[in-house]
Amino acid sequence: MHMKLIFTSQYFRKLCGLAVMLFFSVALMAQPGLPQRSVTVLPTQELDFGVFYASSAGTITVDWQGTVSTTGGVVSLSSSTVKPAIFDISLCEGRNVTVTYDPTVTMTSGVPSLTLNVGPTEKGPSGSTFPVSGDCNFITTIRVGGTLEVPGGAVSGVYNGSFSLTFTQE
C-alpha cells in the first residue's frame, strides 16, 4: 500500500507540474506583442524644380502639393515636371512625431551657388508635431516643398544638394 501512495503522489506532482506549465504557456501566448516604438523613414521622391531659366534674379517654389510658382526673372517651363520631396513614415498609430530640419541648404554646380529654403512640409514648418495615422502597418506620407533662390548671373546647369529631416517620436 505504501508503494501505491508514492506512485499516486508522483502522478499527482506530474499532473500539477503539467497544469502549471500549461497555465504559463497559455498566459504567455495570450500577451499581445508590443507595438513598434521606433520611427522608420524612407525617402521615396526627391524635390525637383524641373527645368527653368532666369533672365535675372528671382525664385522658384515647389510647394508640398507640387505646385510651382516663380518670382523675378525666373521662368518655369510649362512642359517641365516639378515634384515635392516625399518621405514615408512607419510608426504605430496614436504616436506623435515632430519634424525638424535646417531651413537653408546650398546648392552647387556653377558660380554663384543657389540657396534652397526647405519647407514647409504638409504638416507645417520645422518643429511641427503631427499624429501618425493608421495601425503599425500603415504608412504616413509627408511631402516637403522648397524655394530656390536664383541670383542674377547664375550659370545654367544641374545643381545638386541635399537636406535632412529629423523625425522624433513623442
Q: Which domain holds residue 95?
A: 40-169
Q: What is the helix (H) or strand (E) element at residue 30, kind and residue range? A: helix 2-30
- How crowded is residue 2: how many other Cβ atoms within 10 Å of its Cβ? 6
- Candidates 102, 117, 112; CA nearest to 154 is 112
| pLDDT value of position 139 | 82
- Whether 170 has a pLDDT exceeding 50, the answer reads yes
Do 79 and 154 share a domain, yes or no?
yes
- How crowded is residue 49: how many other Cβ atoms within 10 Å of its Cβ? 23
pTM over 0.75: no
Do 12 and 60 share a domain, yes or no?
no
The Cα diameter of the chain in Å comes to 111
Q: What is the helix (H) or strand (E) element at residue 17, kind and residue range? A: helix 2-30
Do 158 and 74 share a domain, yes or no?
yes
Do 121 and 80 share a domain, yes or no?
yes
| pLDDT value of position 12 | 39
